[in-house]
Chain A
């Protein structure tokens, strides 16, 4: 057996049970789900009726808990399940949640906290203020070690095929750290400016904000930081490892090749890129039209790669891999993409005036003459290349441009924005037509395209409806130019003798490792997968670089995709009851019906727009992955964002459930306006305002920071109330309110404090005297439940109630601040600790004590005990007594079962 006792929860009840059992000589394991021991008591201002400072009397107990020789404490850990092991003992599974911070190495210096770019409501301050994603629970936390709150991957980051920390750079932009944001993107790829313009932004499709007023313009935020970086003239600021002596050849300089070269160069490899074309950049430079992606942007991104010492040999096609190897390269990456346009495959396609889509685009990008002026142009195909070709043809002065596509508009593979923009620029579409023959005149030039109309039949393997020709429907579209944009294929004949080549000339490589049948040859991007898009190519390039490095350093070819599971967007949205809808940024695109030049159609974001846009981010995964904490931590290797949860299994002799209680959710009483009226707060929030580690150093009301002069308490909020399903009294709200009344009168001598109560339940040693003291200090206690609260324009609140003690008239009383004395709710996680044996709950879902009269602390499962408010509403002293009783029960159980392992004194 590993421990005599497992104590679940380290609030005051859990600590008391654990410490006393430790004193008795038992070995105790304490598991706490938060990052510090102490539970709720440490967060309180003072305690009634002694007015001792709660943290001053808690911290010694917390320190004892951590330092007790017989206690082992696991914070930030959760008990996932406890089952009887057959021998009268228990088997428990404990999840040690990844802190992402080395608990031993962390000095509690809080530099990560200062550097963190994400702010979320601080649960340790009852959501009154924010804390960071990297945080130390509270100033007196024990242990005082940071944790990083990573709830998974944010949907934007998770969606990015390129593996860019989208949430990370958005949060850096929000913090005004544009260079750092730029460097974070550079960490994935050198193509920041390119992706900021030409990426189809899968991140934006996944943005949680999309279900509110619209997605964040994540792509344009990337363009913003790229533009800012260019304006600033700063260095890249990227760390490059010392040369490691290995040489690598990358064949192809498209997004996959450039990204792989960049990553390899940063790791210290000597990289040379071989490019068949006269200019580097692949489709970025040779296909995507300049109005979408200016040439200078691509050239700048390519310069990033050259700045790391990567040599790019243009007009240098590679025809012999073995020869390359013989030149001394340790590995070769093939990333040659899909440079070839597919032909139309109909009679007459060799006529003058018929050209391939990518060939056409390449000519234009290389400033080679293409005569479109005054011509009727038909573009065949429905993909992005077709859209680009059509729009370029418009710009070159074509009289008309018609896109002919064999299926319907909805089935077009082109990004819908591209199709819409093409249409706005005067491109015509004709759907459900397929080319049958290129019609020409005597000179051999094109005069028209004979087409056949298509009907859409059953869905094919791609899920789209299969087009079938309609007999006798042929017709001719008159035209002088036909651009065939119906597909692209790799050009891999030169490699076929060395590595495997499949259908359509695609290279064969392991999809995970990207290694080909020849170990030193890797292949990545479209040359393997067929035409995809830039982000996927970038992602493949990163993967290839990672795998090549692993292979050359003798590691396993794995460990590339370390993303945490994506967070549930519905859960993210549920964090707040309401959201302010904020205007989404305009798309910035200006289109002309008859464009005549290649100016960029989309404007960049202004700084104000970027600030506004990034401010809308909901921090879905909390931690944004900006890595600022890693950079700020003074201890090398202390923060490791790749850390993962760990499972621990222990055998224990007995279990103490001290999982405490939940506070009533005040917004379940809509008539009191909590969550809607900012100056309606809960009792716990008031306790934080009064605590030694209070957030504002005084009591002020949230709406305007005014120091309140008239403060009202609404007792029994969520207690003694059938309408919210809780007919029970919460026991301690009267007393904490009376305590707060006195503290407020001490802090704000001029404030009037009025308590609207049902019965003041000052039942306990010196409690009634404490209540009388409060009355004598000047607090007013008014009998009767408050019916409703309304808010005035200035934030003041009007409480309506029946003035029972003065004739029962209806009164509207005005206050600056209203405190809802919220009560307790059962913590139903307690029963979930036992998936096999049912831990009985009472009728109101507290842990049941079947023989409470004589055996407090004993539950329905032999060997499982309950301590503190998990068994019902208790104040601190009740919890101490109950936890003491539970400890006596545990000791008796262990004596009886002889399950004790003696700890040497």
Chain B
């Protein structure tokens, strides 16, 4: 233990070296650690004062400050204290519990304390960072918060994590490229797979595509290969013309009801440990008149792609040769008040298509009217190739989008301003106008409803964290892959499908999983089954049950996320949240109020 970091070490009473006897009714033995966070906290909070103020709180045996509580060395110091002083409770006052709860639970576990007798007190996000202008106030607040944390810890009881045996099977919803690749991946890591596809054929959007970027392979061929791989694997059961109708059970052991829409619709139930949602996207359908949509010769990107894929020489449209093509980018995307998001794949797809067209017809004129060309990463090479092959790129101002009209002869005319040549107005007579349309979320209210998955403002399924947990959702064991999570190209969809495989395998492969026991519990004697709690639960964890002849609520511990939403709505006070019991919350409030305002 470094002397510099130890401002105060108090042993509280003379029995400091006795063996730990953490039992109800006995005095608790709590260690308190107040973190500087390398200045993030201590620049505003007088950490030494906090330690001084809390060291004599009931139950506190040792109180120290530490530069970085999360540092390995500090963790070792805490473990040593736990052994030396026979601690049975731990309080760390540092950052948000979201960051380091598991870290310090680990310290407790390694040193032999029940991990749930640890309390994380947030004096950074909820104190020092918020009150940089008031060090005295921040210090006062820190003392209150730490005292509250100590009060909570005094009332902690040892809890054991819920161990759930998991079903080593997975359900994949959606048989597009992401779903197919996920199904194969799941099978290849040793899980049994059920693949549900709404259509009669597997393959989704990609199965309809010819040559795709970036490796010039045909979409249809990729899908054929994947479907063959799926068929080769006995552990994959494919349901086409099928839909997921219901999901019950809880984490690790869901039961999915699948309706197979044949002449005689049939309902199949499968037990699975995880569900991979890969329901894909729809393409944006321009409104009539939007950039001339509806006029003959004005087509969307998917329509154009189909035309190109079907051509073996210079393009013709409705029998007429296509000598000039104008592309208008960002149709249905990046529109304030409309779809504000960028669809990510369309720039590269269009640029790629223009290269294909140039290969078919070296004399074709292609004009790209764009806002930003987003051929990120290696796709930039296609953009260079496209320009080398004669495509002309014109950037239009955001406030003056291009206009599409027909001239007297019925020919299409696109008018735009080209920023790159001094904002000049340019008129392009065109044989074909391609509206570069993006992706929109698939309309599937039923699926959303039954999965209880949140969607973002863009309408795509929301992940739990867009940076670090992009395929996980708030529902444990339900994963999102491919473009249902947000616009992606084929390659990216495959990668996310495989990432979902990994997440599934990480929770299913060992056959069991641990869940936090900090869940709501019902006092069956007090419950009257008034059903008020039912709508308060966003996870459908509450069900009706019979206890000693009475109808009462019961809460599935593996479905409950411990959000506490049901607790305050219960008129009978019959629900308590483990780890945050009413008694604990009251004690926290009382302790915080004890500290007089300076």
Separation of A431 and B224 alpha carbons in the complex (Å):
93
The verdict on A693 contacting chain B, using a C-beta distance below 8 Å, is yes
Q: A762-B372, A884-B471, A885-B496 are in contact. List 6 more A-B contacts (CB 8 A).
A: A24-B510, A140-B68, A727-B381, A764-B486, A807-B422, A853-B490
The verdict on B10 contacting chain A, using a C-beta distance below 8 Å, is no
User: Provided the pairs A24-B510, A108-B73, A853-B222 are in contact, do residues A731 and B376 lie with their beta carbons within 8 angstroms?
Assistant: yes
**Residue of B70, B380, B465, B490 most packed against chain A (CB within 10 A):** B380
Interface pair B376/A761, CB less than 8 Å apart: yes
The verdict on B360 contacting chain A, using a C-beta distance below 8 Å, is no
Enumerate chain B residues within 8 angstroms of A761, measured Cβ to Cβ.
372, 374, 376
User: Please, what's the 1-or-0 string for B349-392, where 1 marks a CB less than 8 Å from any CB in chain A?
Assistant: 00000000000000000000000111111111100100000000
**Would you list the 7 A-B pairs with minimal beta carbon distance, nearest first?**
A884-B499, A885-B498, A892-B188, A23-B506, A108-B73, A768-B342, A765-B486
Separation of A60 and B98 alpha carbons in the complex (Å):
9
The verdict on B334 contacting chain A, using a C-beta distance below 8 Å, is yes
Interface pair B341/A783, CB less than 8 Å apart: no
CB distance from A135 to the nearest CB of B (A): 15
Interface pair B419/A763, CB less than 8 Å apart: no
User: Provided the pairs A50-B466, A762-B342 are in contact, do residues A144 and B222 lie with their beta carbons within 8 angstroms?
Assistant: no
Interface pair B73/A107, CB less than 8 Å apart: yes
Separation of A304 and B372 alpha carbons in the complex (Å):
77
Which B residues from 217 to 232 make CB contacts under 8 A with A? 217, 222, 225-226
Separation of A12 and B73 alpha carbons in the complex (Å):
23
Interface pair B467/A25, CB less than 8 Å apart: no
User: Please, what's the 1-or-0 string for A441-454, where 1 marks a CB less than 8 Å from any CB in chain B?
Assistant: 00000000000000
User: Please, what's the 1-or-0 string for A873-893, where 1 marks a CB less than 8 Å from any CB in chain B?
Assistant: 110111011111101110110
Separation of A561 and B212 alpha carbons in the complex (Å):
64
The verdict on B423 contacting chain A, using a C-beta distance below 8 Å, is yes
User: Provided the pairs A762-B342, A805-B419 are in contact, do residues A109 and B4 lie with their beta carbons within 8 angstroms?
Assistant: yes
Enumerate chain A residues within 8 angstroms of B397, measured Cβ to Cβ.
805
The verdict on B215 contacting chain A, using a C-beta distance below 8 Å, is yes
CB distance from B471 to the nearest CB of A (A): 7
Interface pair A880/B460, CB less than 8 Å apart: no
Separation of A760 and B374 alpha carbons in the complex (Å):
7
Interface pair B2/A109, CB less than 8 Å apart: yes
The verdict on A20 contacting chain B, using a C-beta distance below 8 Å, is yes
Enumerate chain B residues within 8 angstroms of A139, measured Cβ to Cβ.
38, 68
Interface pair B340/A854, CB less than 8 Å apart: no
CB distance from A727 to the nearest CB of B (A): 6
CB distance from A35 to the nearest CB of B (A): 12
CB distance from B443 to the nearest CB of A (A): 19
CB distance from B452 to the nearest CB of A (A): 21
Q: How many residues of B contact A (CB 8 A)?
A: 92
The verdict on B316 contacting chain A, using a C-beta distance below 8 Å, is no
Separation of A11 and B190 alpha carbons in the complex (Å):
28
Separation of A807 and B185 alpha carbons in the complex (Å):
55
**Residue of A12, A106, A693, A881 most packed against chain B (CB within 10 A):** A881
From A804, A853, A877, A882, B467 is in contact (CB under 8 Å) with: A877
Interface pair B103/A880, CB less than 8 Å apart: no
From A693, A763, A873, B344 is in contact (CB under 8 Å) with: A763
Interface pair A56/B468, CB less than 8 Å apart: no
Separation of A873 and B380 alpha carbons in the complex (Å):
12
Q: Give 29 pairs: A residue, B residue, CB < 8 Å, sorted on A.
A: A23-B509, A24-B189, A24-B506, A47-B467, A61-B468, A63-B106, A107-B2, A107-B73, A140-B68, A145-B72, A692-B40, A720-B380, A759-B374, A763-B374, A764-B344, A765-B341, A766-B458, A766-B466, A768-B334, A805-B397, A852-B215, A853-B217, A877-B467, A884-B495, A884-B502, A885-B494, A885-B497, A888-B499, A892-B189
The verdict on B307 contacting chain A, using a C-beta distance below 8 Å, is no
Enumerate chain A residues within 8 angstroms of B384, measured Cβ to Cβ.
727
Interface pair B188/A880, CB less than 8 Å apart: no
How big is the A interface, by class?
A: 35 or more
CB distance from A136 to the nearest CB of B (A): 9
Chain B minimum-CB-distance residue to A855:
B494
The verdict on B503 contacting chain A, using a C-beta distance below 8 Å, is yes
Enumerate chain B residues within 8 angstroms of A896, measured Cβ to Cβ.
188
**Residue of B68, B420, B498 most packed against chain A (CB within 10 A):** B498
Interface pair B2/A143, CB less than 8 Å apart: no
From A769, A881, A888, B185 is in contact (CB under 8 Å) with: A888
CB distance from A274 to the nearest CB of B (A): 50
Which A residues from 1 to 24 make CB contacts under 8 A with B? 12, 20, 23-24
The verdict on B102 contacting chain A, using a C-beta distance below 8 Å, is yes
Separation of A382 and B486 alpha carbons in the complex (Å):
86
The verdict on A559 contacting chain B, using a C-beta distance below 8 Å, is no
Interface pair A844/B378, CB less than 8 Å apart: yes
Separation of A108 and B68 alpha carbons in the complex (Å):
10
Enumerate chain A residues within 8 angstroms of B510, measured Cβ to Cβ.
23-25, 905
The verdict on A728 contacting chain B, using a C-beta distance below 8 Å, is yes
CB distance from B326 to the nearest CB of A (A): 19
User: Provided the pairs A20-B506, A880-B467, A895-B190 are in contact, do residues A56 and B226 lie with their beta carbons within 8 angstroms?
Assistant: no
CB distance from A743 to the nearest CB of B (A): 14
The verdict on A52 contacting chain B, using a C-beta distance below 8 Å, is yes
Separation of A262 and B75 alpha carbons in the complex (Å):
46
The verdict on B181 contacting chain A, using a C-beta distance below 8 Å, is yes
**Residue of B70, B372, B502, B505 most packed against chain A (CB within 10 A):** B502
The verdict on B166 contacting chain A, using a C-beta distance below 8 Å, is no
The verdict on A345 contacting chain B, using a C-beta distance below 8 Å, is no
The verdict on B169 contacting chain A, using a C-beta distance below 8 Å, is no
CB distance from A759 to the nearest CB of B (A): 4
CB distance from A23 to the nearest CB of B (A): 4
From A67, A804, A876, A889, B419 is in contact (CB under 8 Å) with: A804
The verdict on B507 contacting chain A, using a C-beta distance below 8 Å, is yes
From B4, B95, B465, A56 is in contact (CB under 8 Å) with: B95
The verdict on A673 contacting chain B, using a C-beta distance below 8 Å, is no
The verdict on B401 contacting chain A, using a C-beta distance below 8 Å, is no
Enumerate chain A residues within 8 angstroms of B421, measured Cβ to Cβ.
808
Interface pair B373/A759, CB less than 8 Å apart: yes
Separation of A24 and B40 alpha carbons in the complex (Å):
36
Separation of A147 and B38 alpha carbons in the complex (Å):
20
Enumerate chain B residues within 8 angstroms of A895, measured Cβ to Cβ.
188-190
Enumerate chain B residues within 8 angstroms of A727, measured Cβ to Cβ.
380-381, 384
Chain B minimum-CB-distance residue to A873:
B377
User: Provided the pairs A109-B4, A144-B71 are in contact, do residues A881 and B103 lie with their beta carbons within 8 angstroms?
Assistant: no
Interface pair B495/A856, CB less than 8 Å apart: yes
Interface pair A885/B499, CB less than 8 Å apart: yes
Separation of A765 and B341 alpha carbons in the complex (Å):
7
CB distance from A900 to the nearest CB of B (A): 10
CB distance from A67 to the nearest CB of B (A): 6
CB distance from B209 to the nearest CB of A (A): 12
Separation of A297 and B374 alpha carbons in the complex (Å):
76
Interface pair B72/A142, CB less than 8 Å apart: yes
User: Provided the pairs A140-B70, A854-B225 are in contact, do residues A56 and B96 lie with their beta carbons within 8 angstroms?
Assistant: yes
From A108, A842, A856, A874, B71 is in contact (CB under 8 Å) with: A108
The verdict on A835 contacting chain B, using a C-beta distance below 8 Å, is no
Which B residues from 51 to 108 make CB contacts under 8 A with A? 68, 70-74, 76-77, 95-96, 99-100, 102-103, 106
Chain A minimum-CB-distance residue to B384:
A727
Enumerate chain B residues within 8 angstroms of A844, measured Cβ to Cβ.
378
The verdict on A476 contacting chain B, using a C-beta distance below 8 Å, is no
Which B residues from 284 to 312 make CB contacts under 8 A with A? none
The verdict on A496 contacting chain B, using a C-beta distance below 8 Å, is no
Interface pair B495/A728, CB less than 8 Å apart: no
Chain B minimum-CB-distance residue to A60:
B99
Interface pair B189/A57, CB less than 8 Å apart: no
Chain A minimum-CB-distance residue to B223:
A854
The verdict on A59 contacting chain B, using a C-beta distance below 8 Å, is yes
